[in-house]
Amino acid sequence: MKNSFSLGLLHVQPELTTLQTPGCYWVACARQQDARLFIRQVISHQRAVTLIGAEQLPRELLTPDPAGGPDRIPLFSLPKNKKSLLLLESDFSRTFGSQHGLVIFNSAAAQWDKLNEGELSRWIKRMRRTLYKRKMTLLIITSGTTQFNQTTHLQRYFRQMDGLAYLTPQQDSWQYQINWWYAGERLFADRAIRLGCEDERFFALNEMQEPLSLNDEQHYLANKSVLEGAPPLSRQWQLFEDNQQVWSAAQQANAATVIFSLTHSEHIGELAKQVHSLRRSRGNGLKIVVREMGVSLRYSDERLLQACGVNTIVPTSAAMSRFLTMLEGIQGQRFSRRVPASLEALTASLQPLHEKGYLRLDAFCQSVGQLISNTLLPENDKGLLVALRPVPQLTPQQILTLCKPRRFGDLVTVLEDRVILFLSSCRYNDLDKALKFIFSLPHDELFANRIIWFEDNQILGEISNIRKMTPMALQEQTPVAVTPPAAVAAKPSERAAPQPITLLPENKS
């Protein structure tokens, strides 16, 4: 067997972690910090290795020293431009030989976007010829998410590369997806391994589950309110007084349909706990449904319940006939997504802000910037940044007395003559509905105009602009006594002295 190097991933099938000589392998990491850990783990399992860095300086990648690996590592830096990337193959031919064995090249995925399809194809072919001529192995590790990193883009180089894999973070773990991997004379393809990380080392998680019985697949366990007063629809239906009783009965279910009722948004946290515990303990055969009864969920709440294990959520606008049709649609299905073991970690990743209401400008910018930079949240769907200009009769300070954010992640601050709102996990179409609940008076009467940012880059750019203005703005925000608008309208003036008025003239005789 030709393989002579190892990725060092613990508890992973050896054929999926070895690198043959000669060979060219590519591992794309979604985050820079994951790429750094991956590189350090690979180096710690080598006797000799050469490191080339374009994303970070090689010395920074090796600080502090990895837990193992060679005593002396040749380090090279590559400028972050297209020309240096195109000339890398000729640098290999001139500088490296078979004694270098394994060479690790770390760069940002965005750097490869500078090459067009033809340039990239020629680069890979020339590099492959050089590697086979000098009997070397090249491991390319990129970080960042761009169009270049998409599977369909790199898939076309199957014949030029010996291996392609992706490392992406989940809520409490990582998914290591192998598109293909050559090990000696064997080819492995379409493998997915879930990894954990401890002491800066990735290792495979063993999550084998016993198959579940399906003998209760036709049974329904439901909160009686979801049928709107109707009796059980058949002998397979069992109705219960509240969600707690539904949850208790479902502890013995294997593949039944479990239907919870949601009547108040304050119950979302408790419902998430019940759904999470059921999905983790009873497996993927269970069909869990939540029906909204007089309350509409925010997008972030829907995502939380779905991540906890809900198959489907029936909106409050759905009639009884539509509700029953949706129940029929999920019969025979198995829940396919993974539910993390820690509900706290899951909640923290989906609802990372534990603040609400008014914040100073600097704290506001820090909190919003932290949330937008969270890679575990969906791209361009993390929330809305809204700048509101009050009508001339009102000041921003007066507007604050009418602003009552109730959800964690809904933040407000003041910048000059504008009120700045950030609504976490709020979609553009739901903005008016959110403003209606936040302000105690109609928002159309409070504001003259508004500007909305909804893409991640737009929000980060505007936050950067606000940060530049923050020192000056903070100086202008001197404490003032805020007077509600109603009080302003009813401001008493000096009391007028009564004046006698003669209504009828006296009769003179």
Specify the CATH number for the domain of residue 377: 3.30.70
| Residue 332 included in any domain | yes
Residue 152 has pLDDT above 90, yes or no: no
- Please state, in angstroms and rounded to a whole number, the distance separating the CA atoms of residues 90 and 83: 12
Residue 395 has pLDDT above 60, yes or no: yes
Q: Are 434 and 423 in contact (CB under 8 A)?
A: yes
pLDDT number for residue 124 = 92
Residue 355 has pLDDT above 50, yes or no: yes
Looking at the fold, whether 262 and 323 belong to one and the same domain comes out as yes
pTM: 0.53
pLDDT number for residue 497 = 62
Considering only residues 4 and 497, tell me which one the structure prediction assigns the higher pLDDT.
4
pLDDT number for residue 493 = 46
Percent of the chain with pLDDT strictly greater than 70? 86
Pick from 158, 177, 204: which residue ends a domain?
204
Residue 473 has pLDDT above 70, yes or no: no
Looking at the fold, whether 183 and 36 belong to one and the same domain comes out as yes
Least confident of 78-82, 94-98, 488-492: 488-492
| Residue 209 included in any domain | no
Domain that holds residue 174: 5-204
Q: Over the chain, what is the mean pLDDT?
A: 83
Q: What pLDDT digit, counting tens, does each position of 295-330 carry?
A: 667 777 888 899 899 999 999 888 999 999 999 999
Looking at the fold, whether 9 and 148 belong to one and the same domain comes out as yes
Angle at 261 between CA 259 and CA 264, to 5 degrees: 155
Residue 141 has pLDDT above 90, yes or no: yes
| Residue 176 included in any domain | yes
Number of domains in the chain: 3
Percent of the chain with pLDDT strictly greater than 90? 33
Q: What pLDDT digit, counting tens, does each position of 415-455 carry?
A: 888 999 998 878 888 888 888 888 888 888 889 889 999 88
- Please state, in angstroms and rounded to a whole number, the distance separating the CA atoms of residues 77 and 60: 11
Give the DSSP letter string of 43-72.
HTT-SS-EEEESSS-HHHHTSS--SSS-S-
- Beta strands across the sheet bearing 174-183: 75-77, 50-53, 102-108, 137-143, 23-29, 163-169, 174-183, 186-198, 201-204
pLDDT number for residue 444 = 84
Looking at the fold, whether 331 and 360 belong to one and the same domain comes out as no
Q: What pLDDT digit, counting tens, does each position of 61-95 carry?
A: 988 888 888 889 999 999 888 888 998 988 888 88
- Please state, in angstroms and rounded to a whole number, the distance separating the CA atoms of residues 398 and 326: 47
Looking at the fold, whether 268 and 400 belong to one and the same domain comes out as no
Looking at the fold, whether 358 and 461 belong to one and the same domain comes out as yes
Looking at the fold, whether 263 and 131 belong to one and the same domain comes out as no
Task: Collapse the DSSP code of 318 into the 3-class scheme (helix H, G, I; strand E, B; otherwise coil) and give the result.
Answer: coil
- Please state, in angstroms and rounded to a whole number, the distance separating the CA atoms of residues 348 and 378: 14
Closest C-alpha to 416, from 442, 384, 389: 389
Looking at the fold, whether 482 and 418 belong to one and the same domain comes out as yes
Looking at the fold, whether 356 and 336 belong to one and the same domain comes out as no
The pairing of strands 163-169 and 23-29 is parallel
Looking at the fold, whether 46 and 190 belong to one and the same domain comes out as yes
| Residue 494 included in any domain | no
Closest C-alpha to 33, from 7, 10, 9, 60: 60
Return the CATH number at 198.
3.40.50.300
Return the CATH number at 311.
3.40.50.2300
Q: What pLDDT digit, counting tens, does each position of 237-281 carry?
A: 999 999 999 998 898 888 899 999 998 877 888 999 999 989 988
